[in-house]
Chains A and B, each alone.
Chain A
Amino acid sequence: MTSTSFKHIGQRSIRPDGLDKVTGKARFGADYYLPGMLVGVVVRSPHPHATIKSIDTTAARAISGVKAVITAQDFPEISHEEAMSGESVVDFRDLSHNVMARDKVLYIGHPVAAIAATSQQAADAAAQALQVVYEIHPHVLNVDEAMASDAPILHSDLDPDGGEPTNIAKRHVFNRGDTKQGFARADVVIEREFTTKQVHQGYIEPHAVVADTGEDGRSVVWCSSQGHFLVRDQTAKVLGWERSRLKVIPAEIGGGFGGKTTIYLEPLAVLLSAKSGRPVKMVMSRDEVFMATGPGPGSRVRVKIGATSDGKITAAEVWMAFDAGAFKGSPVGAACQTVLAPYEIHDVSITGLDVVINTPKVAAYRAPGAPIGAFAAESVLDEIAEALSMDPIDLRYQNAVEEGSESTYGPTFKLIGFKETLEAIKEHPHYKATLGPNQGRGVACGFWFNAGLGSSATVSIHEDGTASVLTGSPDIGGSRASMALMAAEVLGIDETRIRPSIVDTDSIGFTDVTGGSRVTFATGMAVIEACGEIVEDLRGRAAMIWGAEPDDVEWQSGQAQHSDGSKPPLSLAEIAGSAAKTGGPIAATASLTARGVGPAFSTQVCDVEVDPDTGLVDILRYTTAQDAGRAIHPSYVEGQMQGGVVQGIGWALNEEYVYDDSGRMENPMFLDYRMPVASDLPMIDTVIVEVPNPGHPYGVRGVGEVGIVPPLAAIANAINGATDVRLRDLPMSPPRVVDALSSELNGATGTPAG
């Protein structure tokens, strides 16, 4: 399983976009300035739940320099329509109402108007002058409040059980086998309850857009997103425009993690530009990012797992309630399917509730839903291992899925590398290292599906033998380098002779979002296919030059070779140099729906030291093993693994949305929303496992997401190792740890030591 048979794949090449990024030349969403550009601002609701009685824009419009004011009245009312958009089902009516509140505001920060003016000062003054009359309603801020019998109801049309409207938008149920019988066979049964808070994706680049509408009514939009086709299509839908009226040019994107797979500012900027006839730039402030863009959900989860004394899991029951924020659509369905997916369990009952609350609509966040489920399930498994005095990796290995295993969510696994990740951690020196006082070690595993979806690529060979590779997949983590390496592998030329670019919605075929860990897999597949067509073309041209048959021509090491060796080889550059004589320009396009998705597994081990006085948890050492299928560019595979782990560490230890009673987020800034900084962390050791995905020409699986799944439980398990106390409520911040340790001392809670 080494990459030795490849010449380019597996090399740690310099990323093609790197030079611009280390010199400050790369242009991100906020880096575009157009002549005559206006400043756009959003007026946001100060109430978490209210009916909009009236909006008077007269005074705002009267302020000097104000060029346009828009409210929901300027958008078409669209009916409920659920459709695949990106990777998930989107209800366009909800999307429209989230972009601009129509009748009700559902969270503090919900847009009620937008203003474009010649200066920030004028725009801010107009926002102050806008008169909105609200009728205030009671609000709910978590799933418990939202599901209470007397809870205020956010939407009048959510009734999954066919009765009175509720705040439960959807109930997912997955039952297999008979859990009663399964638990009856168990020697140990452990049932626990867990809670997690909303967390933000925390990308460093706030949302930003520039829109410029021409005299012909067509708009050009520059913005950073995880999918400019999604931006085009969703914006068109919300505005009631034809898609071809919009051209979206992808800026460099400063992080997304799922949070930039939807729209917020784009339709506002386009409409303000259309109304004012001027370019309009809108950039969110950091507190707007926190208060009005997608966090990941908060949750309450119960997990019950039974096992025999020799460690065979016999049954599991899971109940999960996820908040969706203001509109339906939390990732609880995905959590239901992933929560027990690493294990072969025949008697399973899983229920998931999607619950609306008066906070920002949640957005996708790296393996959406899966970390929350894994936090609960992997914590309970750890307790079972403890109760059975088993090594936690041995327990997992004994129940681990492999090729041919039936998954808890239904289908049978093809070739997967889960057991290999368990072996990698068990054999790692980290797992055998000794621990000191107040130190503990925790293990946890994670699963993620990965995605295929639609991708396009256009490859052109230039006369001098260099090439361009165009795709429609925004590059968040170095994917241009991977595209160049895969193209180089097929074409047989050096990757430095290939320029990969991400081009606008008018310049390449439709491409789904950069999400679901899909770009290297799916867009890579399109690049490989287009390059394959180019090679066929080049063979034909060599045959023409030689007066031979294409079948007599082999393509090796970037050159055409006659199968009987009777002709000196023709290099790609030589063939390209005479392209005009052999049929004209050399280019190929591939557009495809990528099939053959290979799921990803990760096993992680973490050592912590807990300060019993302050409750501070110090991450001493961390090692992650993940099945990448094939690492096209190992450095960026490692980077994804490390980044996922560290986001998980933040989620586990410090990050949370804190709301006051009035529904206002109390910590909408990085000082108080505490993401990990360099001094909080050790190096994150990586072991790339390569069990090639049979569904991809080079064996690629996605690597972006699964790394965030295990850390929450790995750290909780390590804290238990250090303190004999199990924490089941995130984040495990110093006050919570101190509380848990002191209640353990008082004998109030906690489990018997194993």
Chain B
Amino acid sequence: MLSVANSTVPRVHLLGDLKRRCGGRKTVDVEAETVSQVIAALEARFPDVRQAGLGHMSVAIDGEIMTNADYVTVAPEAEIHFLPALSGG
């Protein structure tokens, strides 16, 4: 369980479309222990986020970009970015 007492929780950084869907916020702090919980928390707080399709996006946790990261653990101090999924040659 997260320690609510020290109030350190993962922070989602928002750019562009996602920022707009979150009321213009640059960052949102969410109580979550996995990426899927991060998404659920964002969608619960900002219903417009549901149309953004976060489940299909890549996620960067502390600078490391991943796909299929739903159950990857996010540390309490994690910095999270969602990025469009990419193609590579």
Contacts and interface: CB of A to CB of B under 8 A. Distances in A.
A and B touch in the complex (CB under 8 A): yes
Contacts of B81: 409-411
A322 interface: no
B56 A82 contact: yes
B7 interface: no
Contacts of A201: 89
A518 B15 contact: no
Given A331-B87, A411-B81, 5 more contacts: A257-B89, A334-B86, A410-B83, A411-B83, A704-B89
B88 A410 contact: no
Contacts of B85: 84, 87-89
Given A174-B15, A176-B15, A368 B87 contact: yes
A331 B89 CA distance: 11
Interface residues of B, number: 25
B84 A333 contact: yes
Contact of B84 (A172, A451, A517, A705): A172
B83 to A, nearest CB: 6
B16 A174 contact: yes
B64 A261 contact: no
B16 A261 contact: no
Interface in B66-86: 66-68, 72, 79, 81, 83-86
Interface string A188-218: 0000000000000100000000000000000
A596 interface: yes
Contact of A87 (B19, B53, B87): B87
A261 B84 contact: no
Contact of B89 (A172, A176, A261, A453): A261
A596 B68 CA distance: 14
A334 B87 contact: yes
A410 B88 CA distance: 19
Contact of A410 (B13, B17, B53, B72): B13
Interface string A352-369: 000000000000111110
A139 to B, nearest CB: 26
B63 interface: yes
B16 A88 contact: no
A705 B16 contact: no
Nearest to A338: B86
Interface in A432-452: 448-452
Nearest to A366: B89
Nearest to B59: A411
Nearest to A260: B89
B56 to A, nearest CB: 5
Nearest to B84: A333
Interface string A233-263: 0000000000000000000000011110100
Residue picked from B16, B17, B62, B87, most chain A C-beta under 10 Å: B87
B51 to A, nearest CB: 11
A206 B13 CA distance: 44
22 contacts: A84-B67, A172-B17, A174-B15, A174-B16, A175-B19, A256-B89, A331-B87, A333-B86, A364-B88, A411-B62, A411-B63, A411-B65, A412-B62, A449-B86, A451-B67, A452-B67, A515-B89, A516-B88, A517-B88, A593-B68, A595-B72, A705-B88
Contacts of A459: none
Given A452-B66, A593-B68, A368 B16 contact: no
Contact of B88 (A87, A172, A409): A87
A610 B17 CA distance: 45
Nearest to B53: A82
A597 interface: yes
Top 10 A-B pairs, shortest CB-CB distance? A258-B89, A516-B88, A88-B87, A411-B60, A410-B81, A173-B16, A366-B89, A333-B84, A412-B63, A411-B63
Main secondary structure of the interface of A (DSSP, over half): loop
A451 B88 CA distance: 8
A313 B57 CA distance: 30
Interface in A691-717: 695, 704-705
A86 to B, nearest CB: 7
A273 interface: no
Contact of B67 (A172, A174, A413, A453): A453
Contacts of A460: none
A705 B87 CA distance: 12
A597 to B, nearest CB: 6
A523 interface: no
A71 interface: no
Contacts of A175: 15-16, 19
Contact of A364 (B13, B16, B66, B87): B87
B89 A88 contact: no
A337 interface: yes
A267 B42 CA distance: 40
A625 B17 CA distance: 36
A364 B56 contact: no
A409 B65 CA distance: 11
B32 to A, nearest CB: 18
B88 A595 contact: no
A414 interface: yes
A521 to B, nearest CB: 12
Contact of B60 (A176, A410, A593): A410
A357 B2 CA distance: 50
Nearest to A414: B63
Contacts of B87: 86-88, 258, 261, 331, 334, 364, 368, 515-516
Interface string A625-655: 0000000000000000000000000000000
A324 to B, nearest CB: 12
Given A82-B53, A410-B81, A88 B86 contact: yes
A409 B60 CA distance: 10
B88 A368 contact: yes
Interface in A304-349: 331, 333-334, 337
Contact of A597 (B13, B65, B89): B65
Interface in A152-189: 172-176
A364 B67 CA distance: 18
A451 B68 CA distance: 12
Given A174-B16, A175-B15, A410-B60, A84 B68 contact: yes
A590 B37 CA distance: 28
Contacts of B63: 411-414
A448 B19 CA distance: 25
Contacts of B16: 172-175
A518 B17 CA distance: 29
